[in-house]
Structure 1
Amino acid sequence: MTQTQAVKDTPCAIVTGATSGIGTAIARALAAAGYSLFLVGRRAAAGQAMAAAFQAEGVRAVFHAADLSDKAAPDAIVQAALTAFGRVDVLINNAGILIHGTAEDTTDTDWDRLMDINLGSVFRLSRAAVPALRAQGGGAIVNIASDWALVGAKGALAYAVSKAAVAQLTRCMALDHAQEGIRVNAICPGDTDTPMLAAGITGAARAERVAEYGAAIPMGRVGTPEDIAGVAAFLVSDAAGYMTGTMIPVDGGATSD
């Protein structure tokens, strides 16, 4: 088998927001499951270093710098993944931003930016990926939503609305593509120990704040990126082959409380 053939015979996963937090953990989990990685993010230096680290471990990995607010980026991402690996089997829509605010606090600029990145990029990337997944006879899309897609959120209106819309996008695409073998599911994380949690707080103050968040969760702690990554790896596996259109809370029981 040639090296080129080996690349084409290895399933490929596109992971957005790959350079930190949940995205990095998902990339690691998929690498362990045997996927080639097409890593997408804004931070070129971090992304290139991440790809190089995977390559040193024998994982086929490519980093692609992209600003997902650019409406041309999704088509370019999918085409670049096809060029690099000859196929796309999995899309992980993880990239997103958080802006706090009530309706009165949220400016049109903040609203538009949140919707464009948290919802618009998921739509555009999924749309771009469908033909490539179809060409493989099927595949999996996993959208990272939020537990705030399932329940109301105080002081984060635009973010919560954007994630609720991602949940509905997930359901609709799951129905549209079920007979093509393209499964579309969403993970709804609760508070997770990533840079987005307690942003702007450092050191002991941050540890104290994270502990406060954890104390309010039934399981007594916030989630880890690996908690989310394990579910993502399951959803793209054959073990989840009869699952599509699902919203899976990974929140320590918060939405059950």
Structure 2
Amino acid sequence: MSSSSYKCRRFKNKVAIVTAGTKGIGLAIAERLGLEGASIVIGSRNQKNVDEAVAQLKTKGVKNVAGLAGDIGEEVEQKRLVDFTLQTFGKINILVNNHGINLSIGNILEVSHEEWNKLFNFNVISGFQMTKLVQPHIKNQGGGAIIFNASYSAYFSPPAFAAYAVTKTALVGLTRALAIGLAKDNIRVNGIAPGVVKTEMSRPLWEAGPEAERQIAELTGIALGRLGEPDDCAGAVAFLASDDANYVVGETMIIGGGAQARF
């Protein structure tokens, strides 16, 4: 992608924070918003990854981009990221809570109390806290958008990683609740629920090649017959963050290539 790939400039003069924005879906979201004119701040744990991602985004044509390393699960680091954004670009219009972790694979009854706490703190509570921090700043701009990255596993809790999926179900509920609470400020809160997307987390499912990918798609009921790409998610986020979605509130868009996942 390059800056010439998109003729629309839906985010000119807008500032967006993208958490976990150095790789995969987060990086694709940062690129898409940036190529449509937004000034971008990305956050991630590792400074080297942040620096590399900022350089990559600039190479792709994102003119205004900066990054800050920190643990988004820690309140002090959340505030640092928000303060850094205000110091760098002077305002906030869009927040993409893209971050998430999975600590446990296996029977849900074997998930420890400590693992539950870590999962909910990082996957759910930290996004809530980021929303509280940015709300007054987005409100001061006359409104804006907040998008959460959930997962289509939120709708059926696959046994192998059910604990992770439960936190994503909670995230769908949090999105709805915040949407009602912030609508009065003209802040639209929505979410995406990606299916199997080709990122590092899902690499074992697709690195064997196209035939393996086709088989996974068939087994998981993906009607399009292929796994998702990070850009598939980025386009959906760009829509939800833009004025094109100015009457879309409290929704979580499943991006699953036709895989059936509904409450």
Name the SS of the counterpart of 1:137 in structure 2: coil
1:125 counterpart residue number: 130
Q: Which moved more, 1:190-199 or 1:180-189?
A: 190-199
Question: Equivalent residues in 2 for 1:79-98 (5 A)?
Answer: 79-98=83-102
Name the SS of the counterpart of 1:40 in structure 2: strand
Q: Which moved more, 1:239-248 or 1:93-102?
A: 93-102
CA shift in 2, pair 1:256/1:72, >3 Å? closer
Question: Equivalent residues in 2 for 1:102-181 (5 A)?
Answer: 102-181=107-186
Does residue 212 in structure 1 map to residue 215 in structure 2? yes
1:196 counterpart residue number: 201
What one-letter code is carried by the residue in structure 2 that aligns with 1:230? G
Deviation string 1:194-216 (CA, Å, 9 cap, x unpaired) is: 011145x8953x76654432223
Unaligned runs of 5+ in 1: 1-8
Aligned with residue 37 of structure 1, among 32, 36, 40: 40
Unaligned runs of 5+ in 2: 1-11
- Residue 23 of structure 2 contacts residue 53 of structure 2 at CA under 8 Å; is this kept in 1? no
Does residue 70 in structure 1 map to residue 81 in structure 2? no
Provide the C-alpha distance between the structure 1 equivalents of 2:135 and 2:69, rounded to a whole number of angstroms. 21
Percent of aligned pairs with the same amino acid? 34
Q: How many residues align?
A: 247
Q: Report how far residue 221 of structure 1 moved.
A: 1.1
1:238 counterpart residue number: 243
Structure 1 length as normaliser, TM-score? 0.90
Name the SS of the counterpart of 1:141 in structure 2: strand
Q: Which moved more, 1:92-101 or 1:138-147?
A: 92-101
- Residue 156 of structure 2 contacts residue 261 of structure 2 at CA under 8 Å; is this kept in 1? no
What one-letter code is carried by the residue in structure 2 that aligns with 1:87? K
1:3 counterpart residue number: none
Name the SS of the counterpart of 2:260 in structure 1: helix
1:186 counterpart residue number: 191
Deviation string 1:27-75 (CA, Å, 9 cap, x unpaired) is: 1110111000001011211211221333453511111101122122222
RMSD of aligned C-alpha atoms?
A: 1.9
